[in-house]
Amino acid sequence: MDPMNYIVLAAIVFTIGAVGVLVRRNAIIVFMCVELMLNACNLAFVSFARMHGNIEGQVIAFFVMVVAAAEVVVGLAIIMQVFRTRRSASVDDANLLRH
């Protein structure tokens, strides 16, 4: 098996995540799809690290995980706040800046 398979799998998962971000309108599901894309990138980093015999890919993947954790905290707090004021978690309902 070619190690590039992992990269192709990462591309597929990334695309699925991107489709989810474009299609779904529940903010929490959109957020989960963003996490999906981040995870796909991590898989690519880890398999690149193995391909090149260099640990840096794993180090970058570790940093991505830390940043993703921080992002989840702030993003979910924002979703909570929007839900509290607008009683809806749909990304279509938060359109005040549009008008």
- Least spacing, CB of residue 71 vs other proteins, in Å: 8
User: Is there binding between residue 31 and other proteins (CB under 8 A)?
Assistant: yes
**DSSP string over 7-64:** HHHHHHHHHHHHHHHHH--BHHHHHHHHHHHHHHHHHHHHHHHHHHT-THHHHHHHHH
- Least spacing, CB of residue 92 vs other proteins, in Å: 6
Q: Which of residues 54-93 bind other proteins (CB under 8 A)?
A: 54-56, 58-59, 61-63, 65-74, 76-81, 83-90, 92-93
